[in-house]
Amino acid sequence: MYVDPEIIRLLAFLIGVIAFAALNAAYLVWLERKEAAHIQRRIGPKEVGPFGLLQPLVDGIKLMTKQLIVPAGVDPVLFKIAPILVMVPAIMSFVTIPFSETLVARNLDIGLLAIFAFASVNVLGLLLGAWGSRNKYAVISAARVVSQNVAYEIPMLVTVVTLVMISGTMNLSKIVALQQGGFWHWNILNLSASPLMPVAFLIFFVCMLAETNRAPFDMAEAESELVAGAFTEYSGMGFGVFFMGEYANIVIGASMATILFLGGWDCPFGLFPGVHWFLIKMYFLIFTVIWIRWTYPRTTFYGLLNLSWKILIPISFVNLILTSAMLKVF
């Protein structure tokens, strides 16, 4: 019997990515709790398993055994597909991410575009979930999520356009390949393309935090003010899937920052490139994301919009103009 190797490849990819996303979601929660604890000089989870390593497992069991309440009056279809609309695009985005020279499921020429296209479905999922809940507070928070995401997508995309101009391609593997050979080749230090490159990295990172609804921009589920905001009505695993989607998005955001600015799988000293360098950079960024969460208080909504429209967008446009001028001149 002949089986197309492409199908086997697809299956292997599917299983691999789902396992990766689920494990990441579970263990990022563990990492988050540990890191939070140590920043506050506590220990964090430690009871279940060594260093509390089995904690995500029991948390998962707990979430799954909880009753899934579908409140009367919700739109049953929207209510049920909303978590999937958050989770599936996050998993789909892994398709084009090159973890190393060879470890990539689909080497698309429009990989960058595909990731941003999938990323915007995430907002749709949150909005539909809140709308389907028929809950005023959820709808209001969803409106906040949408305006936040629109505000932060602009500087992010402008920064990415700058990078596409520098690299001349939207293929993620090629973007990484252009940055090979030590950290002075990475886009974050590509000062000959634009002296504002480190700032562009900061802008991208801040936008990534806002896009993934991470603190200090976690307006989507500001649990202290909005009682979990857009997903107020979700219980048990419905809520759990939203959460997994959020953590998968963090992984994707960190991967994008690694690919676009930090040279992907490149070793900082030009020695042994490989998937391990990619993972080190990615997890360092995730560590920073958590570190930021436990350092800054949540911003107000006006502060959040002001930051984007008054600071990030002008600076990213300045960077765009500067880069195009530099490209023209040199």
Partner 1 sequence: MIDYLREIISGTWSLFVGLGITIRYFFQPVVTVQYPYETLPMTPRFRGHIELVKDEETGETKCIVCGMCQKACPSNCITVNGEKREGVKGKVLTEYTLDFTKCSLCGLCVESCTPKAITFSKDYNLAGVRKEAYIFDLKKRLEAKN
In the complex, the smallest distance separating the C-beta of residue 253 from partner 1, rounded to whole angstroms, is 18
Tokens, residue 111: 């990989």
- Minimum distance from CB of 37 to partner 1 (Å)? 8
Q: At closest approach, how far in Å is the CB of 47 from partner 1?
A: 10
Give, as one character, the DSSP assignment of residue 95: G
Q: Which of 8, 19, 23, 38 binds partner 1 (CB under 8 A)?
A: 38
Spatial distance between the Cα atoms of 61 and 226, rounded to a whole number of angstroms: 27
Q: For the window 231-260, what string marks contact with partner 1 as x by the rule CB under 8 A?
A: ------------------------------
Minimum gap (Å) between residue 41 Cβ and partner 1: 5
Residues numbered 39-78 forming contacts with partner 1, rule: CB under 8 A = 39-43
Distance CA 327, CA 234 (A): 50
Nearer to partner 1, 184 or 291 (CB): 291
Q: Which 188-217 positions form the footprint of partner 1 (CB under 8 A)? A: 202
Nearest-approach distance from CB 147 to partner 1, in angstroms: 22
Rule CB under 8 A: say whether 292 interacts with partner 1: yes
**Nearest in space to 101 (alpha carbons), one of 276, 282, 280, 275:** 275
- Tally of CA atoms within 13 A in the half-sphere of 311 that contains its CB: 13
Distance CA 43, CA 56 (A): 16
Residue whose structure tokens are 């960024």: 285
**Residue of 190, 200, 171 whose CA lies nearest to 320:** 200
Nearer to partner 1, 36 or 140 (CB): 36
Segment near partner 1 (CB under 8 A); pick from 4-12, 35-43, 158-166, 247-255: 35-43
Least gap, CB of 98 to partner 1 (angstroms): 29
For partner 1, the binding residue among 17, 32, 35, 217 (CB under 8 A) is 35
Element (H, E) at 199: helix 197-211
In the chain the first and final C-alpha atoms are separated, in Å, by 58
Q: Closest approach of Cβ 122 to partner 1, in Å?
A: 26
- Rule CB under 8 A: is residue 321 a binding residue for partner 1? no
301 binds partner 1 (CB under 8 A): no
Q: CA–CA separation, 312 vs 150, rounded Å?
A: 13
The first and second tokens of residue 109, run together, are 């020429």
Q: Which is nearer to partner 1, 36 or 164 (CB)?
A: 36
Residue 102 engages partner 1 in binding (rule: CB under 8 A): no
311 counts as binding partner 1 under rule CB under 8 A = yes
Which secondary-structure segment (H or E) carries 296? none
Helix axes of 55-65 and 236-261: crossing angle, nearest 10 degrees: 140
Taking the complex as a whole, the smallest distance from the CB of residue 308 to partner 1 amounts, in Å, to 13
Sign for the pseudo-dihedral over CA of 146, 151, 152, 156: positive
Interface residues with partner 1 (CB under 8 A) are: 35, 37-43, 202, 291-292, 294-296, 311, 315
